Amino acid sequence: MKKREKKEHQWNIADTVTALRIAASAVLLFLPLQTAGFLAVYTLTGLTDAMDGWLARKTKTASEFGARLDSMADLLFYGVLLLRLFPVLWKRLPVEIWYAVAVIILVRLAAYAAAAIKYHRFSSLHTWLNKLTGAAVFLLPYVLAVFPGVGYCWAVCAMAFASSTEELLIHLCRRDYRADRKSIL
């Protein structure tokens, strides 16, 4: 029986675009909120998030490494976003939203824990609901620049709860790990 060799990952254009998102996320730490510079770099991070997966598929360079790099870039971006926007949101939003956010975080952590236990790896799935939630969260600074944003934040919380719950259920119900799983269905 022939032993299967593990193919070494080759850095590619999609990985470069993801790395650009990581660098842009770091730059956001130092730019003043709701300025043209912040929104320009912020928009760049969103474009790179949309482009990297598309590029990987089009160039046939999609890989486990690229999916992990993308997930790490997403976590860094959302961490920076939380760090920068949290003080503004804390002042604007009612306490009930923060309770909802705490529940969402717990469900999301349960999904990560379930994947870690079941698959012995970190897993953040690229489901349609996760993508929709990511897009809604991404639009938050633009919405807050124009509106108070309370109703919008409730809608984002509902989407985030649904996507976190779906990911948890996928990890609990499915036997195999597939990072590109689009839905529980």
Whether residue 2 is predicted with pLDDT greater than 60 in this model: the reply is no
Stretch 42-67: mean pLDDT: 91
pLDDT at 5 exceeding the cut of 70:
no
Mean pLDDT confidence for 115-125: 83
- Average of pLDDT values for 46-73? 90
Asked if the model's pLDDT at residue 70 lies above 80, the reply is yes
pLDDT at 121: 78
- Which tokens hold the place of 28? 């956001």
The overall average pLDDT reported for the chain is 88
pLDDT band at residue 140 using 50, 70 and 90 as cut-offs = confident
pLDDT (tens digit, 9 = 90+) per residue, 76-96?
A: 998 998 899 888 888 889 999
Overall average pLDDT of the 118-123 stretch = 82
Percent share of the chain, pLDDT over 70: 95
pTM recorded for the entire structure: 0.76
